[in-house]
Amino acid sequence: MPICPACIRSAPAALLGRHGLFQLYYCRACGLRYTEPMEEAGPDFYQRSLLYAERQAPLETPAPREDWRYQTALSGMNPFTHPRLLDIGCGDGGFLEKARQLGFVVAGFDADSRAVDYAREKRHLSNVRRGDWRHLEANAGHFDVATLFDVLEHVGRPLALLVELRSFLRPGGQVCITVPRFDRYPRLFDREADFPPHHLTLWSPEAVKIVLQKAGFENVKLRFKALSGEDLQLHASWRFRRLKGAPGPSEPASLPRPTKQLTRAAKKTARFGFQAAAWALRTLALARGHTLLALADRPYERVI
């Protein structure tokens, strides 16, 4: 019987099917969807994937203001004096730039050299480095806050990563993670973006809570992103692209990009339609968004 990477035990599991070389399982104990084997995609995958194609020729972009993950994380963080923040999987440094503007002393790591170069050269984030989480060089107990935005689902050993991250935090420090939600509704899953080797896990609230507690965190607080028109539109765009015979989001970025299929007016109309559909589902209390966010604390050492 497979071992659930959140429960870390042979919990009852349902075999959902296969995807290439991977078997897909659903843990009946915690609600996690995971794969066997839990083998991570290598650097070449991210260099070639159309999901990250914008890093081939990045544009000048300001620090993001509208990102629900960043706004929710920052509003839920404990108050710290001169807080030090570590972002694992920091991408091009958008969140770090925003946090720096708010007074955080920031550092970050990412495995993609293109993203790291952009963060250092365009955002002037000198303390961003390229690195794998298994080989991070960070001082134990140095940081007040550690963040993992949409990283845990890519990792073959999510509990081990959280335990490592805990060691970087001082007692009383805080971790914030976001992960894709398996119990979303409508149940839209892209066959490439949401499946291995890109996403090895899709999460439930219970699975997030369990894995954080097993890593030694406490006071777990969950936040749920409401379903948005952008969620629906993104999945529709991938499906439309494949219907037209264009490459999927994880096929080589070197392949020719599809020509624009819709006029600007048609795209605006489609965007309005997706926003209306999401609003209707939310109004009927049927919708569940695609993202979970969790905040948790590293406990203070207890004196006996």
Mean pLDDT of 188-210: 93
Q: What is the homologous superfamily of the domain 42-227+288-297 according to CATH?
A: Vaccinia Virus protein VP39 (3.40.50.150)
Domain boundaries, the chain: 42-227+288-297
Upstream peptide bond of 62 is cis (omega within 30 degrees of 0): no
Inter-residue contact 32 to 204 (CB < 8 Å): yes
Kindly report the average pLDDT of the chain as a whole number: 84
Ranges 167-181, 188-202, 233-247, most confident: 167-181
pTM for this predicted structure: 0.85
pLDDT tens column, 209-235: 999 999 999 999 999 998 887 877 777
Contacts with 172 (C-beta within 8 Å, 6 or more apart), sequence order: 78, 297, 298, 299, 300
Is the predicted pLDDT of residue 258 greater than 50, yes or no? no
Strand-pair partners of 168: none
Strand-pair partners of 9: none
87 φψ region: left (φ > 0), alpha (ψ -120 to 50), beta (else): beta
pLDDT tens column, 89-100: 999 999 999 999
Is the predicted pLDDT of residue 254 greater than 50, yes or no? no
Write down the pLDDT at residue 188.
83
